Chains A and B, each alone.
Chain A
Amino acid sequence: MADFNQFTFKDHVRESLIFNRRLMVAIAVVSILTLLLLGRLFQLQVINYNHYTTLSEKNRVNIVPIAPTRGLIYDRNGVLIAQNVPSFILEVVAEHVDDMEQTLSELKSLVALSDNELKSFKRQLKRKRAFVSIPLRYRLTDEEVARVSVNFYRLPGINIKAELARHYPIGKLMAHVAGYVGRISERDLRRLNQSEYSASSYIGKVGIEKSYENLLHGKVGFQRVETNANGRILKVLERTLPIPGKTLYLNVDANLQAVAEKAFGDDNGAVVALDPSTGAVLALASIPSYDPNIFVQGLDSETFKILRKSPSRPLFNRAVQGQYPPGSTIKPLLGLAGLELDEARAHDSIICRGWYMLDDDIDQRRYRDWKREGHGSTDLTEAITESCDVYFYDLAYRLGIDRIHQYLSAFGLGKNTGIDIEGELNGIIPSKDWKRRNYNEIWYPGETLINGIGQGYMLSTPLQLASITATLSRYGKRMKPLLLHSIQDPKDKSLQLIQPQTLPSVHMIDSSHWGTVLRAMKRVVHSARGTARGISHGLTYQMAGKTGTAQVFGIKEGERYEESEIKKKLHDHALFIAYAPIKEPKIAVAIIVENGGGGGSVAAPIARKVIDYYLLGKTHEPVPAS
């Protein structure tokens, strides 16, 4: 570079001249642009100063967002599950209040203010940003609204805001399906579109309210308003209306749900009913439930603590989050696996003497059947009908845990069903590999036996059990359980149906195996030796089912116990799965009664009531309104 300059020394001078001339042009342009900016600033700050001061200080022509009306939720028959009711809030803008103490004492003479409300108000007062209004009292009565309104003139900074608050008319009954909305929290604010929620005070926290938040919420509108110095709206200049949220129709039948809940009596547990052909969730109840309305306005920490700490755990959604040992309810699946892999034949029998022992077991451990004296000669049909444990110990041992894992997984166990509410748990279907990963231990043959009757590591949710029942009833065709039935536009009433979603089917090489197992399930209810024969009395349709009992604590080898001697908390969980009618099944049910005892005596009668109501409309329980 330096060399080059030596050769063209004259150019160097010329170039410097060109450069300097161009620099002058640049300086001129910089000056012009600077003057342009200054001119613009002069225009804004000097010429139009009054205009902008008016905008910013006095008139405050504000853009006020308008909250959209939240979509309603109905059940499949049009029973209202969630609605919006008007509610008035007393608000304070601290910057406009001259003397806070005096204002508060004056307010006390107009409306009832609890110490809790005052405490929470003062706490928010310390943390808030400037000119933001703080709620002092929610849910003013009409009379209180009137009393405060006539005194507005001497209470600067006090405002009454009207809003629509969420209300659940049949609250407790649908709490675990619909969920609830709550005040938007700091955490919600961080993840949502803030301008979309600028006028909203509520957001779905649990259940349908959460999973379909984007449909229910609607689109924000805005209005340009003129407000006075106290921030009160004087005039609306222009308005763009918000678009209300969509109306949702659920597959759930509130009456069916009420029948199921009532059938539980004082027991806790869960019931899930599905339409096998569509996957529609007809009922999904977790008992006990809670009143979702108390969450809407925000509840004090004490009430929440009581709810959280209650031993019956009302907030816990047993239907999708409760993981229970499936017990004998998985025996039909094991039977199918056995037939398919030729480890069992329909008419081959074993002899059940009331216990089973592994050939090479040094400890000589006896795995007991629930029936002490044994079932005698038992084939697959009898083993399912009478729920013979020994038959399935033997079958499980021959199948091995990994093949069991493979077959049960094909039915969707061990994996969430994908139902359209959050928080669903997966359950566990163990395998050798699973145990190595989770316990870093090898698999013992004895564990195969225990898991072969749905105990041990094996866990599943009531929803999963209902789903496998539906799958069985349709010879392996699987549907995703869905709560949402249709979406309706609140304006033009156009209805958009949610299409059923199929899942990968369970294939059997020999489809006659389905018949073998399903016929046995029918005998569970209809034969004289079936474990659920108790509910067959007066049955006008045909039902197939399977009972189950899930041990809550281990009984030592060879030990016997009397149920009444053990505390209720340690009783076995009672399970029952069923579908009906056998030809063209319309409903598949899974029921778990916590610490209920026997599946046939406790859980099956509940299923009978649920299915009776659904197929025959036998018991017309009116939906309780709160």
Chain B
Amino acid sequence: MSPSQLASSGFAEERRLGASGKFLLRLHIDAPLLIGLFLLASIGLVVLYSAGNQELGLLIRQCVRLLLGFLVMLAIAQIQPPTLAFWSPWIFALALIMLIAVLLLGEVGKGAQRWLNLGLFRFQPSEIMKIAVPMMIAWFLADCALPPKKLRLFTCSLILIVPTLLVAKQPDLGTALLIASSGVFALFLAGIRWWIIGFVTIAFASSIPFVWNLLHDYQRQRVLTFLNPESDPLGSGYHIIQSTIAIGSGGVYGKGWLNGTQSHLDFLPERSTDFIFAVLSEEFGLIGILLLFSVYLFITARGLVIAAQAQDTYARLLAGSLTLTFFVYIFVNIGMVTGLLPVVGVPLPLVSYGGTSLVTIMAGFGILMSIKTHRKLVAG
């Protein structure tokens, strides 16, 4: 099915809806996406139960976060895409101000300055940026002829680069990477010319020596360790060595739930957060991985379908970019756990224990649902 066929089939799909489907539509929920997310969350809880040493409290806290995430998604799904578009620059501006505030007066945690204390709760503005950047770029490109001209492109690259650098300076490479890719995807989908893409790629590659000098010691250490994990087997190389052993020893069928020796002998660090994929691989093997992949790919595919069916440029760019960013989460996390990529601290979406990025991801799905379910019936 070509994308244009996909686009027209959107209407047909709605006509086929049954009673329960109409109820979901009234709630502005996209049923396939919802099913995918539920499946994913369930897999996540099963793995987390094992990774967290069968601690029930941990599981309950994660359930509360998931519930909060679903509520945020539901709330955002009620907002009409034009309203989202209208607020985009304001959200971006607010997020940018908060990012600067973090640099000036943020709280330091784990060697990085990421938190803003708002009295009632602590807050990570870099998380909002993951959504604010594609929103801003989509809004900015929505009312011009595509592919964008030079001046627009220049402004777009500023929208993209400034928050990325601010976050990288905190320093939080993982989030900076995600913010950058969300913006790049929006631009890519807007159809910027291939020669520009080629030029930027080359320029980027040649700037690597300069970037190297700007990196923090621990970031350099991560890259060096990634290139040669054996160089520091007790320190930062330990993560990668132990996680590849965990994954490899899982084999096709896995060692069985709660039976992972790597995980339960404490060889595997950060096993309920960033390295939870290794626990799943060890205990459920390649079969478990394929199940997880199919759910992830299903969600990604659904997101891209929503993007293809979207009615205007803003919705299209935003939906496409959010979906592709979701895939980047998966690729970077699994890539780093399997030793393909350096350890940059990106969680496995909806599976890793932890709250902040989960809410952002669910907010992204809320936007997708809003785009899917607020369709104007255009005559014709």
Contact = CB atoms under 8 A, between A and B. Distances in A.
B87 to A, nearest CB: 13
Interface in B243-262: 244-252, 261-262
B338 A37 contact: yes
Interface stretch (A55-63, A471-479, A523-531, A563-571): A55-63
A52 B146 contact: no
Contacts of A370: none
A65 B234 CA distance: 8
A34 B338 CA distance: 13
Interface of B is mostly: helix
Contact of A45 (B251, B266, B300, B314): B251
B196 to A, nearest CB: 13
Interface stretch (B44-52, B305-313, B354-362): B305-313
Interface string A12-37: 10111111111111110010011011
B304 interface: yes
Nearest to A54: B249
Given A45-B250, A45-B286, A15 B293 contact: no
A509 interface: no
B265 A15 contact: no
A44 B308 contact: no
Given A1-B143, A19-B189, A37 B334 contact: yes
A440 interface: no
B245 A36 contact: no
Interface stretch (B2-10, B55-63, B90-98, B114-122): B2-10
Given A1-B85, A37-B335, A63 B234 contact: yes
Interface string B260-286: 011011110000000000000100011
Contact of B248 (A11, A23, A34, A48): A48
A11 B252 contact: no
Nearest to A221: B234
A52 B286 CA distance: 14
A15 B234 CA distance: 53
Contacts of A56: 245-246, 248-249, 261-262, 267
Interface residues of A, number: 51
A620 interface: no
Nearest to A240: B234
Contact of A46 (B53, B142, B251): B251
**Interface secondary structure of A, over-half rule:** helix
A33 B331 contact: yes
A46 B252 contact: yes
Interface in B162-212: 185, 188-191
Nearest to B3: A20
Interface in A541-595: none
B316 interface: yes
B21 interface: no
Contacts of A152: none
B238 interface: yes
Nearest to A25: B188
A371 interface: no
Interface in B291-333: 293, 297, 300, 304, 307-308, 312-314, 316-317, 320, 324, 327, 331
Nearest to A220: B234
A15 B142 CA distance: 10
27 contacts: A1-B82, A2-B82, A11-B146, A18-B147, A18-B190, A19-B146, A19-B189, A20-B2, A22-B189, A26-B189, A26-B320, A33-B331, A37-B334, A37-B340, A40-B335, A40-B340, A45-B250, A45-B285, A51-B248, A53-B248, A53-B249, A56-B246, A56-B248, A56-B249, A57-B249, A63-B238, A222-B234
Interface of B: 2-4, 7, 53, 82, 85, 142-143, 145-147, 185, 188-191, 233-235, 238, 244-252, 261-262, 264-267, 281, 285-286, 289, 293, 297, 300, 304, 307-308, 312-314, 316-317, 320, 324, 327, 331, 334-335, 338-340
